[in-house]
A and B are shown apart, each in its own frame.
Chain A
Amino acid sequence: MSINLKTPDTETREQRLGTITQWEGTAAELARDSAFTYGCSKGCDNGGRRLCEQNAPFAQAAMCAETIAVSNATIIQGSVVIQHSPIGCAASQSSTCRNYRDLAAQRGWTLEDPVSICTNLTEQDMVFGGIAKLEQAIRIGWERHHPKVIFIAASCATGIIGDDVDSAAQRLEEEIGIPVVPLHCEGFKSKHWSNGWDVIEHGILRNLVRKDPPRKQKDLINVIHLGGRDVFAPLLGPLGLRVNLVMGGNTLDRLAQTSEAAATVTMCFVLSYLATGLEQEFGVPEIKAPLPYGLDATDNWLRDIARVTGQGEDLVEEQIARERARIAPELERLRQALAGKRGFVAAGAAFAHGLLADLRELGVSVDSAFSYHHDPSTDSGDPRQDSLTHLVDTWGDVPNFTVSPDQHFQAHAALQRTRPDFVICRHTGTVAVLAGRLGIPVLPIFYSNDGLGYEGLLTIGRAILRILPRRRFYQDVAAHSRFPYQKWWLEQTDPYALEARPTESGRPL
């Protein structure tokens, strides 16, 4: 299956990858059944069956693709984002600004406020259309800030009233002479917010990557990440590679030159749309080796990068040995300190699989995970990117594997079932706050590069040891507060107790 870049609209994850958001079982079962979606690329007799997605009647407010697409567009330096929407969609401006300033401080960029402008649509615009206001906002953005690129983010409202955002983008692009990139991130279109990454990466591929690159940069490797410290240069620099860190805040030049690189690697396969697109459109190979979580995986990841780029093939074994030796004493100390501890992982798909591997490498026992969605396949269709199977094969099964779009009530049941010593999670929202209030120390991973590579094991291990003593605080609060659930749900340990399990034949997706 290939990525379709002909239309401004992105095919959703559900359409491309068979993404599901509700499931309960063991990791081994989920990996086995996902093989069906992979189809013959894994060998035809793979034992899989169509994934039966659950369908809970109760649901709590989730997140949307617009938030992801807009925040990632806003933190591109020199951009202005027009949120073509009623004012509420722009509520994320302040947190995106705070995030950008944090990134800027960490990465040494100029400390400034990123710019997004909301078209502030009212009832009148719902009736008569909002295109004139969109054009006005684009001109205001241009006159005030003279950006290098303007993104237009569509919203549920403009998607429903049918504003022709693409034509407006074309007209204004000609008028002001900079790229004007539409992002079709209407929240209702996909049941999972991770679609927002596909949308922004789709826009980048179509509009911002240099077409017909005049040269190849043989020592340049694209690294797609979510923001945070550059943990990649110390790993890849010794092989003779220069890191082109994209997404998570970057310049347009970095995006433009992605087509010139020797290869692309992603820190999470959830973000691999851009990597697969670069391979498909520009022949920049995507590194498909399992992600660098845990020692062996990191070794193999480095070897694969050296092999694919042809850089540092003679140096890589030495680099691996040096890094392993460097972290060995501290890793040993951490393993001893964490021995006997029970962890719980909550994160999105491949990212969750990575954190599970990290914890097990650290000697923490983990028998429960909470994945915010599940991608049975990846855009490349390459089985090496099947991170769940890799996890199960390398580290064994995870008996309680819940897929839930960050649902508080389900996470509550899952944590009641496991009662771990600590929780490690992506996002600072639902699960982090919930775990704390249940009396469980929690480590939210805000900067998602923290767990990567050899150093990542130390970063995560040390962070866990720092939060464990906060049990005192959390347990005190837990003893003096309650959740507004009915008693039967407070005692519930099955996240999907609210609905009948699907029958063997399964319900249609």
Chain B
Amino acid sequence: MTPLDIETSTPAAGACGASDPLEQVRYVCSLGALSSVIAIPGAIPITHCGPGCASKQFHALSGISAYQGGEFYVPSTNIGNREVIFGGADRLDELIASTLKVMEADLYVVQSGCIPGLVGDDVESVVRTYQDRGLPIVFAETSGYHGNNFTGHETIVQAIIDQYVGSYDGPREPALVNVWSLLPYQNPFWRGDLAELRRILEGIGLQVNILFGHSCAGASEWRSIPRAQFNLVLSPWLGLATAHHLEKKYGQPFLHVPAIPIGAKLTGAFLRQVADFAGLDRQPVEAFIAREESEYYLYLRDFSSFYASCTSQYQLPSQLVVVSESAYNLAVTKFMVDQLGLVPGQQVITENPPEKFRASIRAHYRDLTEDVSAEVTFAEDGHLVHQAIRETDFTGQLPIIFGTTWEGELAKQIVAPLVEIGYPTTDEVVLSRTYVGYRGALALIERTYTTVVRSNTMA
């Protein structure tokens, strides 16, 4: 397998370099990180942008992708001609004042889009007058031309830390951890995944600030960030900038685990690594792992009947194509290779990770398990992604694609089942389903092989 050298497409999102046109987009713009604000219970974004910007980003991520919710009532200046010509700072001021009158939140995050950046609105000054009154409000510059929702997410997180959480020099709480992992809404399974991560980390005796989603306590969790013993970055690169920032700001150490664990083997190893870093007593950790494993392996035992006996009948897939952002890409690849014994086929990473992280991402794929290594392709443009997959050698193999809705037509062409795992996912309704940890692994197996059986019996 030869990786294509097409990673010249776009440089680090957020850098002011060249970029290429994109077909079948696989992320949204920096402003789209308003989804991360919405993911914090009790927080509301206030958007200073054109009339369609905010709703378009959120509808794309939450409404149409896995139908995650899409309920939307975010304040916006809906900038028009007048604000473009005369400036929009006064209108933003009026909007913030009326938002405080009408809406109720623990935290407001003012986000600017492309237009204020181009016409030069001084948004920071407007927001500062409210901060000076002691209101829980922060400003994050998220112009759409500055980057995508991944970089916008880190911008927002750091704005909240710096302007809302603030400085701290009190004591640390042992065994309290801040978790920085999947990008809310971009990953259709983020709610269930964060809940499962919280569950297993609490299982080994940690207290967890999960920070986003339905299992998050909201603003109080954010305020307790500085008290945590350490930060856990559980993704190939997203969250690292935040962890470095926290290290500098609060002197907090961090543990970086690039691959989100799926399945007992990887989850057990992950939990031991975290426990060691946190200095936890090993006995309860082992007890939790043993309990989880005993249940997990009963299900795996049952599944092995299907896996053994239906191999020919349903043409069970043998080779893996994964098209997604790096966090799920690495996690799913490792699980399918290490736990289920598939061989890597083509791994395409689509979120345009900053250049400086790409070498380390490649390295993770070279060490998938004892004797399996894979190359990875960085591409965002759907046409180039599909070209890379079509040029992959599947001789003698039965491929399966883990990807997005954009891979639907391609999957038909190369006769491979498609399991949707990334944005956009328009053929799945997802609520609390998780694909990570112990429980998620079983759900992923169920979904994968239901898809395989159906593609055999319905095709």
Q: A residues bordering B, Cβ < 8 Å?
A: 56-67, 82, 85-95, 97-98, 112-113, 115-127, 133, 136-137, 140, 144, 155-157, 160-161, 187-191, 193, 405, 408-409, 429-430, 433-434, 437, 483-486, 489, 498
A494 to chain B, nearest CB (A): 13
Q: Which residues of A contact B423 (CB under 8 A)?
A: 94
Interchain CB contact under 8 A, B424 and A188: no
Q: How far is the CA of A489 from the CA of B101 in the complex (A)?
A: 9
Q: Which residues of A contact B25 (CB under 8 A)?
A: 87, 90-91, 93-94, 118
Question: Does B99 have its Cβ within 8 Å of any Cβ on chain A?
Answer: yes
Interchain CB contact under 8 A, A88 and B22: no
Supposing A91-B28, A94-B64, A408-B72 touch, asked if A118 and B21 sit within 8 A by C-beta, the answer is: yes
Interchain CB contact under 8 A, B426 and A94: yes
List the B residue with the shortest CB-CB distance to A67: B52
List the B residue with the shortest CB-CB distance to A490: B104
With beta carbons under 8 angstroms apart, the residue of A122, A133, A137, A161 that contacts B118 is A161
Interchain CB contact under 8 A, A93 and B73: no
Q: Which residues of B contact A57 (CB under 8 A)?
A: 94-95, 97-98
Q: Which residues of A contact B296 (CB under 8 A)?
A: none
Interchain CB contact under 8 A, A62 and B76: yes
Supposing A121-B145, A433-B71 touch, asked if A58 and B102 sit within 8 A by C-beta, the answer is: yes
Q: List 11 additional contacts besides A94-B423, A126-B145, A486-B103; criterion CB under 8 Å.
A: A60-B75, A63-B52, A87-B29, A95-B63, A113-B24, A115-B23, A120-B21, A121-B19, A127-B16, A157-B145, A498-B102
Interchain CB contact under 8 A, A66 and B52: yes
11 sample A-B contacts, Cβ–Cβ < 8 Å, listed by A number? A58-B99, A58-B102, A60-B73, A61-B55, A62-B78, A85-B144, A156-B114, A156-B115, A188-B51, A193-B52, A489-B103
Q: Which residues of B contact A56 (CB under 8 A)?
A: 98
Q: Which residues, 88 to 123 on B, are CB-close (under 8 Å) to A? A: 94-95, 97-99, 101-105, 113-115, 117-119
List the B residue with the shortest CB-CB distance to A80: B23
Q: How far is the CA of A232 from the CA of B60 in the complex (A)?
A: 32
Question: Does B84 have its Cβ within 8 Å of any Cβ on chain A?
Answer: yes
Question: Does B344 have its Cβ within 8 Å of any Cβ on chain A?
Answer: no
With beta carbons under 8 angstroms apart, the residue of B16, B53, B75, B98 that contacts A123 is B16
B39 to chain A, nearest CB (A): 14
Interchain CB contact under 8 A, A193 and B17: no
Q: How far is the CA of A113 from the CA of B413 in the complex (A)?
A: 13
Question: Does B256 have its Cβ within 8 Å of any Cβ on chain A?
Answer: no
Q: Which residues of A contact B71 (CB under 8 A)?
A: 433-434, 437
Q: Which residues of B contact A144 (CB under 8 A)?
A: 23, 383
Interchain CB contact under 8 A, B409 and A429: no
Interchain CB contact under 8 A, A64 and B53: yes
Q: How far is the CA of A154 from the CA of B32 in the complex (A)?
A: 20
Q: B residues bordering A, Cβ < 8 Å?
A: 10, 15-25, 27-32, 42, 44, 47, 50-61, 63-65, 70-81, 83-84, 94-95, 97-99, 101-105, 113-115, 117-119, 143-146, 148, 383, 405-406, 408-409, 423-424, 426
Interchain CB contact under 8 A, B21 and A133: yes
A479 to chain B, nearest CB (A): 17
Interchain CB contact under 8 A, B55 and A429: yes
Interchain CB contact under 8 A, B22 and A120: yes
Q: Which residues of B contact A483 (CB under 8 A)?
A: 73
Q: Which residues of A contact B30 (CB under 8 A)?
A: 88
With beta carbons under 8 angstroms apart, the residue of B73, B118, B144 that contacts A88 is B144
Q: How far is the CA of A95 from the CA of B72 in the complex (A)?
A: 16
With beta carbons under 8 angstroms apart, the residue of B44, B60, B113, B118 that contacts A94 is B60
A20 to chain B, nearest CB (A): 13
List the B residue with the shortest CB-CB distance to A191: B80
Q: Which residues of B contact A189 (CB under 8 A)?
A: 80-81
> Which of B21, B47, B57, B405 has the largest count of A CB atoms less than 10 A from its CB?
B21
Interchain CB contact under 8 A, B79 and A188: yes
The 5 closest A-B CB pairs, nearest first, are A64-B52, A88-B29, A94-B424, A91-B60, A61-B54
Q: Which residues of B contact A190 (CB under 8 A)?
A: 80
Q: How far is the CA of A160 from the CA of B24 in the complex (A)?
A: 26
Q: Which residues of A contact B32 (CB under 8 A)?
A: 88, 91
List the B residue with the shortest CB-CB distance to A12: B81
Q: Which residues of B contact A97 (CB under 8 A)?
A: 405, 426
Q: Which residues of A contact B17 (CB under 8 A)?
A: 122, 124
Q: How far is the CA of A241 from the CA of B98 in the complex (A)?
A: 55
Interchain CB contact under 8 A, B115 and A188: yes
A403 to chain B, nearest CB (A): 15
Q: Which residues of B contact A118 (CB under 8 A)?
A: 21-23, 25
B93 to chain A, nearest CB (A): 10
Q: How far is the CA of A443 from the CA of B64 in the complex (A)?
A: 18
A310 to chain B, nearest CB (A): 43
